[in-house]
Structure formats: C-alpha cells, structure tokens
Amino acid sequence: MANQVTLIDHPLIHHKLTLMRRAETSTATFRTLIKEVSLLLAYEVTRDLPLKYEQIKTPIAFMNAPVLAPEKKLVIVSIQRAGQGLLDGMLELMPSARVGHIGLYRDPKTLIPIEYYFKVPYDVEQRDVLVVDPMLATGNTAVAAVERLKATNPLSIKFICLLAAPEGIEHFTEIHPDVPIYTTAIDEHLDEHGYIVPGLGDVGDRLFGTK
Ligand code: URA
C-alpha cells in the first residue's frame, strides 16, 4: 500500500459499511448510514488540526483550554453527485467549513470524467481542501477533480472516500503522490463497467433512489 493511503479501521465504521453494502438496504437507511460514517471519517481526517489555548472560566475555576486555531480554514469540496452523502455528515461536525462543488460524471462508455460544474470559495488559496467522493474506482474522476483544484492553489488537499479499488489508488497516487487518501476499505478490483467489486453499487443511485 502506498504511504499516503490511510485505512480508517474502526468497528463502528466496519459495521455500518457492511449495512451499506447489503443490496437490500433501503435508500433511507443508506442515507442515514453514509451520514453516520462521514461523521466518523471527519473525526479521523481532522486529527491534525492545530489547536491554540484560550483562558476560559468554568463554573469552578479559570483554565487554559484548547480551541481550534482560527487560521486553519477548511473547505469541503464535494464531487457531485455522490459526494453529497459525505458532505452532509462532515458539515454537521464542521459547520463553519466552506463548501465547494465539482460536477463531474463518468462517460459510461469511456469512463472518462466530463466536467459540468465547478465552484469553490473565492479565498480557496488560504484554505485546506477536503475532497469528498465515496468511491475511488478507476480514479479518473478523483484525478480530474484534484487537478482542477490544484489549479486554484489551495494550501493543501486531502482526498476522502468510503471505498477504494486498488486500481484507483494506483492511478491516483501515480498522478497525485502529494495528496493523501483516506478510505474505510480497499476492495478487490473493478468490474468491466468500472464498478468496485464487491463494493456497494452505484452510490448516487443508492443515495438518491434513482434506480
Ligand atoms: N461509482 C460508484 O458509485 N460505485 C462504484 O462501484 C464505482 C464508482
């Protein structure tokens, strides 16, 4: 495994991911689960956020208490449409983070990503970017999204997904060796349509009930 891949290993995540993988899981349950997992993911990917100390008064005494350093500004960039599922949970934990959207879809024949929307905060140059997309499959979409984001010159970029395929990790790390990947599982391989096996199917369809 490449150095830059962090496999988030937590019993709650494993359990919830298994529920999400089950073909019979309903859209409503899938939506709830992806939100819950994204809260746990957010907890892990923000481990390195810097703290500063402020004097506060508890009901008992004064103390120097840690708070997030305000200069560390985040933007969560969701790759549409499946990224929305991870975005919602992350925002719950980090309500003041800014949000960007990248609209990319995979051409079903070539699997090449086509961009139809791009909007990030005007001050992205002063921000650390968390890119969210549940599936790192071929890696084509993730590679294109990160390429596009790099052109806006943010302070740093992390890529966060639920599931990754070995092919996607290899492709992504070859093109963007400087961008760490966070995932909750690495599955076996891709099928001929670019779906992760065993995977959990098409996240967009399962999230929005479109199939
Ligand atoms: N996108 C999905 O939604 N699922 C996959 O398995 C691969 C890409």
**Nearest ligand 1 atom to alpha carbon 202:** 3
> Looking at the 3D structure of the chain, how many domains does it have?
1
10 Å CB burial of residue 166 (0-12, 13-18, 19+) is middle
Q: What is the pLDDT of residue 200?
A: 97
203 lines ligand 1 (CB under 6 A): yes
Residue 74 and residue 129: Cα distance in Å, rounded?
6
202 is catalytic: yes
**Nearest ligand 1 atom to alpha carbon 197:** 6
Report if pTM > 0.85: yes
Mutate to test the pocket of ligand 1, among 34, 133, 195, 207 (most ligand atoms within 8 A of CB): 195
Enclosing domain of residue 99? 5-208
Q: What is the pLDDT of residue 71?
A: 74
Residue 125 and residue 131: Cα distance in Å, rounded?
15
165 lines ligand 1 (CB under 6 A): no
Q: Residue 34 region, left (φ>0) first, then alpha (ψ -120 to 50), else beta?
A: alpha
Contact 187, 162 (CB under 8 A): no
Give the torsion through C-alpha atoms of 119, 42, 132, 143, to 10 deg: 110
Q: Whose CA is nearest to atom 3 of ligand 1?
A: 202
205 is catalytic: yes
In 3-state terms the chain splits into helix, strand, coil percentages (rounded to 5) of 35, 30, 35
Q: How far is the CA of 156 from the centre of ligand 1 (A)?
A: 26
Q: What is the pLDDT of residue 132?
A: 97
Q: Which CATH number characterizes residue 21's domain? A: 3.40.50.2020
106 is catalytic: yes
Which one is catalytic: 29, 88, 98, 202?
202
**Which residue from 81, 111, 108, 26 is spatially nearest to 203, judged by alpha carbons?**
81
What string of pLDDT tens digits covers the 211 residues of the chain? Answer: 445 999 999 999 999 999 999 999 999 999 999 999 999 999 899 999 999 999 999 999 999 999 998 777 999 999 988 999 999 999 999 999 999 999 987 787 887 888 999 999 999 999 999 999 999 999 999 999 999 999 999 999 999 999 999 999 999 999 999 999 999 999 999 999 999 999 999 999 999 999 8
Contact 136, 159 (CB under 8 A): yes
Q: Give the three-class secondary structure for 182.
A: strand
Q: How far is the CA of 67 from the centre of ligand 1 (A)?
A: 38
- CA angle, corner 45, sides to 41 and 51, nearest 5? 130
Residue 157 and residue 155: Cα distance in Å, rounded?
7
Residue 157 and residue 15: Cα distance in Å, rounded?
28
Q: What is the pLDDT of residue 3?
A: 59
Q: What is the pLDDT of residue 1?
A: 47
135 lines ligand 1 (CB under 6 A): yes
Which one is catalytic: 18, 27, 110, 210?
110
Q: What is the pLDDT of residue 79?
A: 95
Close Cβ partners of 119 (under 8 Å, ≥ 6 residues apart): 100, 101
Which one is catalytic: 21, 29, 81, 205?
205
Residue 170 and residue 176: Cα distance in Å, rounded?
10
